[in-house]
Amino acid sequence: MRSRFPLAFATLVALILGFAAPAAAQSPAAAAAAAGDPPSEEPEEEGDEDAAPVDTSGLKKVVKPTTNVKPKSEQKKDAKKQQKAVSQKIKGDKRCEFRMPLYEHEVVDGDMLSSIAARYGVRVKDVLKLNPGVKANALKIGKKIKVCPEIAPRLREEFTYTVKKGDSLSEIGEKYGMTRREVIKQQKWSLREKLEKDPGSLREGQELTLIVDRGVLPEFAPRNEDKGTLKIGVQLEPGKGYFIKRPHLAYGTAVCVRAIKSAISGYRQKAKGGPQVHVGDISARGGGPLKGHKSHQKGIDVDIGLVLRGDDADETRFRTGNEGNLDVPRTWALIKAFVDSPDVRAVFLDYRLQKLLYEHARKQKVSEAKLDELFQYPRGKGRAFGIIRHWKGHKDHFHVRFRK
């Protein structure tokens, strides 16, 4: 009897604490994990999710959703519409090649065309095609921008963050999937001006307004796209400048195989020398489950080795890349050749390696907008964003997913 009480009490305390934790005290990463990121973004060999840890510190309370995000009445209507949409079979929109419904993004303060595109994992080019007349440098708040989201749309919510000792704007941004610049742009006038002039003027106890992502809209809920077969497969033949690790597992769709060849030949022209490109698995003949992979079933995925220097360069096994052995300029050129292909949907690469490439690309004068469009880095690895995205297990190769 005596020993039971403290236990019950502890349970009660835990329950209270659990319930008292505000919904807002969830990082976007945790929210993403809870909602489950699209299976299409989860190549199997990479294992389970590797989202950033939940950060519950510094949060004050949930503030009502900003009016320019979604008025309440509209949210209710949306919720009804969503329920209806879920109960019916979800149809893809014609403008999205029937792959997903069309989504209308409402422009909020601080949005840029590049960050809007990247938020949905598409290119600026795709956005412009769907929205003729939209000007990249003249986005109006409240304007609706059409997108075919590769990354599921999320509700956005405004809340107040109280600055802790030692916080920097970049760190706060990374916690919530934003860049430092975006955090600054979301502040009210005087504070915004002050931070623009001197980001170091941030002080403990100061209150920041942040617009963060919440749950995925149900009508865009992730579908499992990994499983399937390959009805009409084409085998990637050996060719100049690349090495196929397992030719019997190098069957892909015609689009995929053609895109691989063209990306490699484009890269070879730029790379001027360097080791052969290492092509890993695509799919088995006929597709279907492939040992060691969750995806690679439909002939639309390929693993490509990083370009390495020194002893690791010609090693035929994939080798983990790091600052010491990674040929950053060549790896960047190779990934860029894939990213530039209109048939590529996403490239999965370890977040730390993204940093090396990102910094290199910035030194090469790749514009801020382009970096934002392509890289998830520096928004934190828990945030699905851009074309090049983190997935656990991609330290020794990158994984390219094609449209079809």
- Per CB under 5 A, the segment of 48-56, 166-174, 179-187, 395-403 that binds Zn ion is 395-403
- Per CB under 5 A, the segment of 225-233, 326-334, 355-363, 394-402 that binds Zn ion is 394-402
d(CA 228, CA 286): 10
Number of residues lying near Zn ion (CB under 5 A): 3
Rounded to 5 degrees, φ, ψ at 206 are -65, 150
Q: Shortest gap between Cβ of 93 and Zn ion (angstroms)?
A: 29
Contact 155/351 with Cβ under 8 angstroms? no
Q: Provide the token pair at 68.
A: 């320019």
Residue (292 or 342) nearer to Zn ion, CB: 292
Q: Shortest gap between Cβ of 339 and Zn ion (angstroms)?
A: 16
Residue (319 or 399) nearer to Zn ion, CB: 399
Helix (H) or strand (E) holding 16: helix 4-20
Tell whether residue 303 is a contact of Zn ion (CB under 5 A): yes
Please spell the DSSP secondary structure of 312-348, one letter per residue: GTT-SS-----TTTB-HHHHHHHHHHHHTSTTEEEEE
Alpha helices in 142-217 (DSSP H): 169-175, 180-185, 189-197
Residues near 177 by beta carbon (within 8 Å), at least 6 away in sequence = 28, 29, 212, 213, 379, 380, 382, 383, 385
| Pairing outcome for strands 344-348 and 207-216 | unpaired
- Per CB under 5 A, the segment of 35-43, 130-138, 271-279, 316-324 that binds Zn ion is 35-43
Residue (180 or 403) nearer to Zn ion, CB: 403
Tell me the CB-side half-sphere exposure of residue 32, using CA atoms within 13 A.
28
- Per CB under 5 A, the segment of 16-24, 38-46, 82-90, 261-269 that binds Zn ion is 38-46
Contact 224/173 with Cβ under 8 angstroms? no
Residue (179 or 253) nearer to Zn ion, CB: 253
Residue (43 or 177) nearer to Zn ion, CB: 43
> In DSSP terms, which residues pair with 397 in a beta bridge?
305
d(CA 191, CA 171): 18
Residue (181 or 319) nearer to Zn ion, CB: 319
User: Residues 162 to 221: which contact Zn ion by CB under 5 A?
Assistant: none
Q: Provide the token pair at 177.
A: 């999937």
- Which residue is nearest to Zn ion, using beta carbons? 399
Residue (249 or 357) nearer to Zn ion, CB: 249
* Beta-sheet strands, E only, within 81-122: 103-106
- Per CB under 5 A, the segment of 234-242, 270-278, 296-304, 365-373 that binds Zn ion is 296-304
- Considering only CA atoms, which of 74, 37, 59, 120 is closest in space to residue 385? 120
Contact 41/4 with Cβ under 8 angstroms? no
Q: Shortest gap between Cβ of 15 and Zn ion (angstroms)?
A: 42
Residue (126 or 303) nearer to Zn ion, CB: 303
| Pairing outcome for strands 344-348 and 397-402 | antiparallel
Q: Shortest gap between Cβ of 206 and Zn ion (angstroms)?
A: 44
- Per CB under 5 A, the segment of 24-32, 76-84, 283-291, 301-309 that binds Zn ion is 301-309
Q: Which of 399, 400, 401, 402 binds Zn ion (CB under 5 A)?
A: 399
The answer, yes or no, to whether the previous bond of 149 is cis (omega within 30 of 0) is no
Q: Shortest gap between Cβ of 57 and Zn ion (angstroms)?
A: 35
Q: Shortest gap between Cβ of 226 and Zn ion (angstroms)?
A: 10
Residues near 88 by beta carbon (within 8 Å), at least 6 away in sequence = none
Contact mark string toward Zn ion, 133..172, x via CB under 5 A: ----------------------------------------
d(CA 2, CA 17): 24
Q: Shortest gap between Cβ of 27 and Zn ion (angstroms)?
A: 27
Q: Compute CA 94 distance to the chain's CA centroid, rounded to the nearest angstrom.
A: 24
Helix (H) or strand (E) holding 370: helix 368-374
Residue (58 or 228) nearer to Zn ion, CB: 228
Contact 301/399 with Cβ under 8 angstroms? yes
- Per CB under 5 A, the segment of 26-34, 183-191, 251-259, 391-399 that binds Zn ion is 391-399
Residue (127 or 236) nearer to Zn ion, CB: 236
Residue (147 or 263) nearer to Zn ion, CB: 263
Q: Shortest gap between Cβ of 122 and Zn ion (angstroms)?
A: 21
Q: Shortest gap between Cβ of 96 and Zn ion (angstroms)?
A: 25
Residues that bind Zn ion (CB under 5 A): 43, 303, 399
